[in-house]
């Protein structure tokens, strides 16, 4: 029971109880029970499953007894029925103060936590296939609010579970809602004191740039604006920072694209960006 509460009901933890019981069930169903090794494994797995059932029964026993006693005396009122609600969050309260309601509330609290986790996992799975649809489903389920702040907080909190390519596609979308999220995402970064290439690495550590040039353009434009705000004086204008940032992305693509036979040299890169950085980097740090 503690394993279920501490892992399966916690958003940041793995479903350890579910995986354990599932694997034990698979072991119980091993083929050829006549094989000595299989008999030993199947017996141990079955014994473990029975221990789990006994543990759950022991935990639920006091609650079950109190509910039965309260029901027999007519002391339990189903508030869910009175309020016209049902489901995991519905609570039953004893009118005689016996404490059955408190026990049931604990069980329902964990049930609610587990259901929330299931909803979040389903939303993440949906996001990794269709990010706009995934965000919409999470908003509809009440997991996040339909605001840039809430969506950005979700993207950062679950960055390990979210597909980096899909995050990039979402941030690069042209609709106003996604643009607002992308702007908030970039504005929550701190690029102060970083070289422009290091700032780019920080920005792109949790998502991949989308493939379309227009989407990259929107993200780089906002990045350049934020970089110049955090590092006044490095570039005279945000346009210069934008041009150099875009060029760095192009250089990276050129270097790692197996379809490009003739790679860009350092001299070519410097010449290409000479006009963009001329006079904008007083110390020469960014150009170097």
β-pair type (76-78, 92-94): antiparallel
| Cβ-based neighbours of 16, under 8 Å, separated by 6 or more | 3, 7, 8
Determine contact, residues 115/104, Cβ cutoff 8 Å.
no
69 vs 63, 72, 73, 76, 101, CA distance in Å? 10, 5, 6, 9, 12
For residue 94, what are the β-bridge partners? 76
Share in percent of the chain as helix, strand, coil (round to 5): 65, 0, 35
Residues 6+ positions from 164 with CB-CB distance below 8 Å: 206, 207, 208
Nearest residue to 161 via CA among 126, 133, 109: 126
- Calculate ∠ Cα 198-190-123, nearest 5°: 95
| Catalytic position from the list 29, 161, 212, 262 | 212
Residues 6 or more apart in contact with residue 76 via CB below 8 angstroms: 67, 70, 92, 93, 94, 95, 100, 101
CA 141 – CA 274 distance, rounded (Å): 51
| Residue 212 annotated as catalytic | yes
Q: Which residues are catalytic?
A: 212
């Amino acid at each position: 029971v503690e394993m279920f509460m501490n892992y399966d009901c916690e958003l940041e933890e793995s479903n350890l109880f579910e995986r354990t019981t599932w694997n034990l069930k698979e072991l119980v169903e091993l083929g050829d029970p006549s094989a000595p090794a299989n008999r030993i494994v199947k017996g141990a797995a079955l014994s473990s499953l029975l221990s789990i059932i006994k543990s759950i029964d022991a935990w639920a026993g006091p609650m079950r007894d109190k509910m039965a006693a309260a029901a027999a005396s007519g002391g339990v009122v189903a508030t869910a029925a009175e309020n016209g609600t049902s489901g995991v969050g519905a609570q039953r309260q004893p009118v005689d103060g016996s404490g059955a309601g408190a026990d049931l509330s604990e069980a329902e609290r964990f049930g609610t936590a587990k259901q929330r986790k299931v909803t979040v996992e389903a939303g993440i799975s949906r996001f990794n296939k269709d990010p706009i649809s995934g965000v919409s489903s999470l908003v509809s389920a009440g997991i996040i609010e339909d605001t840039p702040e809430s969506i950005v907080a979700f993207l950062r909190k679950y960055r390990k579970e979210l597909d980096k390519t899909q995050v990039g596609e979402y941030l690069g979308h042209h609709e106003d809602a996604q643009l607002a999220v992308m702007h908030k995402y970039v504005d929550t970064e701190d690029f102060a004191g970083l070289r422009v290439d290091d700032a780019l690495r920080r920005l792109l550590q949790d998502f991949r740039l989308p493939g379309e040039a227009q989407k990259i353009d929107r993200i780089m434009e906002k990045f350049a604006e934020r970089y110049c705000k955090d590092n006044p004086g490095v570039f005279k204008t945000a346009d210069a920072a934008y041009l150099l940032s875009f060029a760095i992305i192009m250089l990276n693509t050129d270097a790692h694209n197996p379809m490009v036979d003739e790679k860009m040299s350092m001299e070519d890169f410097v010449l290409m960006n000479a006009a963009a950085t001329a006079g904008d980097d007083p110390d020469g740090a960014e150009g170097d």
